[in-house]
Amino acid sequence: MPVEYKDYYKILGVQRSATTDEIKKAYRRLARQHHPDLNKGADDERRFKEANEAHEVLSDPEKRKRYDQLGPNWERFAQAGRQRAGDGGFEWVYTGTPGAGAGDLSQFSDFFRMIFGDEVDLGGPQARRPGNGRARARASAGEDLESEVEITLVEAYKGTERELQIRRDGGSARTLKVRIPAGVRDGQRIRLGGQGGAGGHGGPAGDLYLRVRVRPHPFFRREGDDIHADIPVALHEALLGGEVTVPTLKGRVSLRIPPETQNGRVIRLAGQGMPRSGGGSGDMFASVKVVLPQKLSDDERRAIETIAERRSSEDVRSHML
């Protein structure tokens, strides 16, 4: 079966003149996008392996130089054993059975193994680069980490910031300032790309996932993007109507209570809920809780007795039928 040529520059999506930093950046992007721990598709696994292989070659100045020298003659090198080309003195190395004495090279293509032989150390104790000591280990993506942060409902409404202490292997720590967006939900995860565990041998760092916990509020209840609250209303306000001041997450607003408002009636305050990620806000729903007066004066008692004489209890219970 003929050996398939691998265009490592095309695999990483970079120009042939790309700098080492550009190559590393492109590799990290592809490694995160197609990492097998996050994607189970066969195409993702293939592209992850190709990106690793391309990075292995193009991030190493010596390998990159030799790869670039192949040019249109790569098929001739693929047909030979150990030889020296006549144009430029390029020497490629094939030292026998691919993988022999060099750990598991099955993650690399036939093209790579045909050109570079066993020059990659995949962790095997006997892996060596011919005439050059131990080879550089293959790059690997860092571990994804997860942390938890607790905020108030008001902070979830407005958005807030937190400073996190990220402790790495070896005991070193760094401070990371994180912006928590307005409207965040309880249990929602915020992904911080490249802030996780360090990658191995130049591989991309993992990601940090910040799980948000929103503390319950003593007055407001959140349901989706809407806010619910019980609003105490005096008896005379419920009977005669009036304006009451209602707290919201934005601040205090005036709410009109219609005359003869029943206990438990729900009044909608449009746009007074949580911010939505796509724009706009939810609503607030105020549930009226009529507060009965206590310690009645003689005049108040006589007024209520007058009402009682004019309205029998049967009038009240008739609404149950």
Asked whether the domain spanning 221-320 has the same topology as the one spanning 145-214, the reply is yes
Q: Which CATH number fits domain 145-214: 3.40.50.300, 3.50.50.60, 3.40.50.2300, 2.60.260.20?
A: 2.60.260.20
pLDDT means over runs of 10, the chain (321 residues) = 75 91 89 72 81 86 80 53 37 32 51 58 36 52 85 95 77 82 92 81 81 94 96 94 94 94 96 90 96 92 88 60 53
Compute the distance between CA of residue 37 and CA of residue 44 in angstroms, rounded to an integer: 10
Domain ranges of the chain: 8-116, 145-214, 221-320
pTM above threshold 0.75: no
DSSP state of 251: -
> Using one digit for the tens of pLDDT, what is the confidence trace for 255-285?
999 999 999 999 999 999 999 987 899 999 9
Q: Which phi and psi (to 5°) does residue 205 adopt?
A: -70, 155
- For the domain spanning 8-116, the CATH number is 1.10.287.110
Asked if CATH classification 2.60.260.20 holds for the domain at 221-320, the reply, yes or no, is yes
> Using one digit for the tens of pLDDT, what is the confidence trace for 77-132?
555 443 333 333 333 333 333 333 333 445 677 677 666 654 433 333 333 334 44
C-alpha to C-alpha distances, 201 to 24, 45, 141, 165, 294, nearest whole angstrom: 12, 20, 9, 24, 75
